[in-house]
């Protein structure tokens, strides 16, 4: 009986092994299904992109929005066109375009891959043809959103978004970004990236062995919804911004307008500018535009309002007046200084002047003397040299406390600090000179020239400080962010080292400047404008024209700084531009009188063309000079030099004749055309839209 049990056990084990073997064979050898699935089953994580936050201006106008577009892609090998004409009609293209694209799509290995057929088809157009697309094989619509700029303004401040590149991916240590994500690359898009981008969602889809989506993986248990980005409310006044950009057409320079009571920037213009839509989206055209902007000799991508540094020129005199009052080195009522034209020359004006009138007439020797008095105070060190060092350091600290020569903390990337030289700076510069430096080396600082460099934003902030009579808010471009307060830095009053009581005299002086001084062109009927001109000598040609201003004098609404490079006197160009901006902002319109007297003249001025002509002339002159030099050389040297390819006379003549074909990057302006209209330049071309 018990022997039987042994056989039962053996039998059971045998049955078990047979079942296993059969199952193993069936799974592996007999059914193909699982092997195919091994190759095909996959779970795809589909990122769901959030909508990027919108940007509005201070009046609620939309500056930046998102637009859904569709790229139509084709795979050459799969595409079947039954009726070529109907196909062309569907996309409203001509047959030539179709043939061009088809030959591209069918070239080599490309025929197996997707080729871009139609770029950025608008949602309306796409909806119109959507039904008929499904009948065509090998055609793939790819939805995208691109940033659009309905008002086409404020390119430098808004910045642009781009698909993230490898460099930025490597820098992203938090590993938020994935390939294909959009990221703000400059301007507000970059500095408020975290608010604007929102939060990406993800959707897991399971694909079966046929590669057909079988729906959400595990019923969508792991899916997340995208969160929309926060909207930004910029402090920019779009109307003022557009008007300012229009005024600055064909000029190189910058305009910064600030609301003094809040530090909000009303307009931030860097000229020449460009249409931000040029850089929206991806693709060949955009990169071509980008290359074009990058190569433009006038550097439209360089944000002059926050990155260009120039000596402030005579506008700096107001800060020195404030320093003198703070240190008490001049009696504001009785202290007078004669204009002796030494050591710095001056222009004709009444003399001698008191402090207030010195601002009005911008007297150079006056400020030379004042500078010396500020720096050469007795600080009780016993050595005049030591005293001077302390004095210059004090002067430097005052200037920095007024927001010059340092980064203010604007909410845009790449703000430049500029430079207010300190004794340490001069020690470094003069370190190879045994006797060091003396005040007589640096006195051009007194009239805002020399080693000094300020940024237009800092000058506007200086105007705002005077407008506020002694304090400022750190300038910023954002009025508010949805669901979040703006940075507390932008809500804190900042005081300077100058006590507020001294500002009234300077403000009065600046009012006189416009009323009866160097900037009468800035007068506006009904608004008391205060301002100070600056005319900055520079090695590049004509003087830079600078004007800082605020208005009205009491309870100011706007503080502004204008700089027009290589144009002339401060009062001639910058002042009227500033006054037009002020008028536009306060009255919301330009009076007929201003239109005739100022606007027309400003709009017609074309300094870019002047500059191009000057540069071209200079090149010819230089070439001729070199040829002349070459001719005068000794025959031996001549032989030697012959080996090096210098332009021969013939070539120079060619040069003269074919000025138009000179290797200039920008569209050429014919040299000898004083009357003819210049070829349309890039930025002005965009202006046609207004």
Partner 1 sequence: MDNVLKNSRQTSERAENSYFEGDRVIWIVVFMLAAISILVVYSAAGSLAFRRMEGDTEYYLLKHASLVLLSLVAMWLCHKVDFRYYSRLSRFALLISVPILIATWFFGTTINEATRWITIPFINQSFQASDLAKLALIANVASMLSKRQQSIHEFQRAILPILFWCGLICGLIALSDLSGAALLFATCVLLMFIGRVPVRYLGMLFFIGITVAILALQIGQRKETAMRRFTNFISTDHKEIPFQTEQSYIAIASGELTGKGPGNSDQRNFLPYPYSDFIFAIIVEEYGLFGGFFVIMLYLTLLYRGMLAMAKSERAFGGLLSAGLSFSLVVQAFVHMGVTLGVVPVTGLPLPLLSMGGTSLFFTGIALGIILSVSRGEIEDLEPQTQADEEKIFRRG
The reply to whether 2 sits near partner 1 by the rule CB under 8 A is: yes
Q: How far is the CB of 30 from partner 1 (least distance, A)?
A: 10
Q: Could you say which of 15, 35, 84, 499 contacts partner 1 (CB under 8 A)?
A: 35
- Angstrom distance (rounded) from CA 345 to CA 484: 54
Reading the block at residue 50, the tokens are: 């959030």
- Angstrom distance (rounded) from CA 301 to CA 155: 9
Q: How far is the CB of 35 from partner 1 (least distance, A)?
A: 4
- Angstrom distance (rounded) from CA 145 to CA 68: 4
Binding piece for partner 1, criterion CB under 8 A, among 28-36, 131-139, 289-297, 400-408: 28-36
> What's the N-to-C CA distance of the chain in angstroms?
109
Q: Could you say which of 11, 15, 18, 23 contacts partner 1 (CB under 8 A)?
A: 23
Q: Could you say which of 11, 15, 18, 20 contacts partner 1 (CB under 8 A)?
A: 20
The reply to whether 143 sits near partner 1 by the rule CB under 8 A is: no
Assess contact for 206 and 212: CB atoms under 8 A.
no
Q: How far is the CB of 34 from partner 1 (least distance, A)?
A: 4
- Angstrom distance (rounded) from CA 571 to CA 532: 9
The reply to whether 107 sits near partner 1 by the rule CB under 8 A is: no
| Residues in region 37-66 near partner 1 by CB under 8 A | 37-39, 41
Q: How far is the CB of 28 from partner 1 (least distance, A)?
A: 6
Q: Which is nearer to partner 1, 209 or 299 (CB)?
A: 209
Reading the block at residue 38, the tokens are: 């091994």
Q: How far is the CB of 26 from partner 1 (least distance, A)?
A: 9
Q: How far is the CB of 11 from partner 1 (least distance, A)?
A: 13
The reply to whether 34 sits near partner 1 by the rule CB under 8 A is: yes
Q: Which is nearer to partner 1, 218 or 600 (CB)?
A: 218
List, in order, residues 6 or more apart from 224 with CB less than 8 Å away.
48, 201, 202
Least Cα distance to 225 among 345, 487, 46 occurs for 46
Binding piece for partner 1, criterion CB under 8 A, among 22-30, 267-275, 474-482, 648-656: 22-30
Assess contact for 671 and 616: CB atoms under 8 A.
yes
Alpha carbon 567 to chain centroid distance?
22
| Residues in region 156-215 near partner 1 by CB under 8 A | none
The reply to whether 7 sits near partner 1 by the rule CB under 8 A is: no
| Residues in region 381-440 near partner 1 by CB under 8 A | none
- Angstrom distance (rounded) from CA 321 to CA 341: 19
The reply to whether 112 sits near partner 1 by the rule CB under 8 A is: no
The reply to whether 14 sits near partner 1 by the rule CB under 8 A is: no
Q: How far is the CB of 222 from partner 1 (least distance, A)?
A: 14
Reading the block at residue 529, the tokens are: 């404008």
Q: Could you say which of 15, 17, 86, 482 contacts partner 1 (CB under 8 A)?
A: 17
The reply to whether 15 sits near partner 1 by the rule CB under 8 A is: no
Assess contact for 563 and 570: CB atoms under 8 A.
no
Binding piece for partner 1, criterion CB under 8 A, among 21-29, 285-293, 333-341, 599-607: 21-29
Q: Which is nearer to partner 1, 23 or 626 (CB)?
A: 23
Q: Which is nearer to partner 1, 35 or 626 (CB)?
A: 35
Residue 342 in 3-state DSSP?
coil
- Helices assigned H by DSSP within 26-133: 33-40, 84-91, 95-105, 123-133
The reply to whether 637 sits near partner 1 by the rule CB under 8 A is: no
Assess contact for 238 and 153: CB atoms under 8 A.
yes
- What CA dihedral angle connects 533, 538, 542 and 547, to 10 degrees? -20
Alpha carbon 57 to chain centroid distance?
17
The reply to whether 103 sits near partner 1 by the rule CB under 8 A is: no
Assess contact for 564 and 253: CB atoms under 8 A.
yes
The reply to whether 27 sits near partner 1 by the rule CB under 8 A is: yes
Q: How far is the CB of 27 from partner 1 (least distance, A)?
A: 5
- Angstrom distance (rounded) from CA 312 to CA 147: 37
Q: Which residues bind partner 1 (CB under 8 A)?
A: 2, 5, 9, 13, 16-17, 19-20, 23-25, 27-29, 31, 33-35, 37-39, 41
């Amino acid at each position: 009986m018990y022997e039987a049990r042994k056989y039962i056990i053996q039998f059971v084990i045998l049955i078990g092994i047979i079942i296993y073997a059969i199952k193993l064979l069936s799974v592996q050898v007999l059914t193909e299904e699982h092997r195919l699935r091994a190759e095909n089953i996959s779970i795809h994580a589909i990122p769901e992109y959030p909508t990027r936050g919108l940007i509005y201006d201070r009046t609620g106008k939309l500056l930046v929005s998102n637009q859904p577009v569709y790229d139509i892609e084709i795979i050459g090998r799969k595409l079947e066109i039954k009726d070529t004409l109907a196909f062309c009609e569907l996309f409203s293209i001509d047959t030539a375009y179709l043939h061009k694209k088809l030959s591209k799509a069918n070239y080599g290995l490309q025929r197996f891959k997707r080729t871009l057929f139609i770029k950025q088809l608008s949602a309306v157009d796409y909806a119109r043809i959507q039904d008929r697309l499904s009948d065509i094989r090998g055609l793939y619509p790819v939805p995208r959103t691109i940033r659009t700029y309905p008002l086409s303004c404020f390119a430098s401040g808004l910045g642009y978004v781009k698909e993230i590149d490898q460099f930025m991916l490597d820098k992203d240590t938090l590993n938020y970004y994935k390939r294909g994500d959009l990221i703000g690359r400059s301007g507000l898009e970059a500095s408020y990236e975290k608010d604007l981008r929102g939060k990406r969602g993800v959707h897991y889809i399971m694909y079966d062995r046929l590669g057909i989506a079988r729906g959400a993986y595990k019923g969508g248990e792991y899916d997340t919804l995208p969160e929309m980005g926060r909207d930004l409310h910029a402090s920019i006044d779009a109307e003022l911004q557009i008007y300012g950009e229009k005024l600055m057409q064909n000029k190189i320079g910058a305009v910064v307008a600030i609301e003094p009571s809040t530090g909000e920037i009303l307009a931030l213009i860097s000229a020449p500018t460009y249409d931000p839509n040029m850089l929206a989206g991806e693709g060949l055209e955009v990169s071509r535009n980008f290359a074009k902007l990058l190569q433009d000799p006038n550097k439209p991508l360089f944000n002059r309002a926050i990155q260009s540094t120039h000596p402030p020129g005579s506008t700096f005199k107001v800060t020195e007046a404030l320093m003198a009052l703070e240190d008490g080195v001049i009696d504001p009522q009785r202290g007078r200084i004669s204009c002796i034209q030494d050591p710095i020359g001056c222009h004709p004006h009444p003399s001698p002047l008191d402090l207030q009138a010195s601002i009005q007439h911008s007297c150079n020797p006056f400020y030379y003397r004042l500078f010396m008095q500020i720096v050469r105070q007795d600080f009780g060190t016993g050595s005049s040299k030591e005293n001077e060092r302390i004095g210059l350091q004090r002067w430097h600290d005052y200037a920095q406390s007024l927001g010059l020569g340092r980064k203010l903390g604007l909410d845009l990337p790449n703000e430049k600090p500029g430079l207010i030289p300190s004794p340490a700076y001069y020690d470094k510069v003069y370190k190879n000179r045994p006797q060091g430096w003396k005040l007589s080396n640096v006195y051009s600082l007194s009239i805002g020239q020399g080693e000094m460099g300020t940024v237009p934003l800092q000058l506007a902030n200086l105007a705002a400080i005077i407008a506020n009579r002694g304090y400022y808010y750190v300038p910023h471009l954002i009025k508010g962010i949805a669901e979040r307060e703006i940075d507390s830095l932008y809500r804190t009053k900042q005081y300077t080292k100058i006590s507020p009581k001294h500002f009234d005299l300077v403000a009065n002086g600046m009012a006189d400047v416009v009323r009866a001084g160097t900037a009468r062109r800035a007068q506006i009927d009904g608004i008391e404008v205060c301002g100070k001109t600056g005319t900055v000598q520079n090695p590049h040609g004509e003087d830079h024209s600078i004007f800082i201003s605020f208005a009205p004098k009491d309870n100011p609404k706007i503080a502004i700084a204008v700089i027009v490079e290589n144009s002339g006197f401060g009062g001639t160009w910058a002042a009227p531009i500033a006054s037009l901006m002020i008028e536009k902002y306060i009255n919301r319109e330009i009076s007929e009188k201003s239109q005739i007297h100022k606007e027309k003249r400003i709009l017609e001025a074309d300094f870019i063309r002047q500059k191009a002509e000057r540069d071209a002339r200079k090149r010819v002159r230089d070439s001729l000079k070199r040829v002349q030099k070459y001719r005068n050389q000794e025959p031996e040297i001549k032989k030697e030099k012959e080996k090096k390819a210098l332009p021969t006379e013939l070539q120079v003549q060619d040069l003269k004749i074919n000025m138009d074909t000179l290797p200039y990057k920008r569209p050429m302006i014919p040299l000898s055309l004083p009357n003819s209209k210049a070829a349309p330049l890039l930025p002005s071309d965009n202006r046609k839209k207004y």
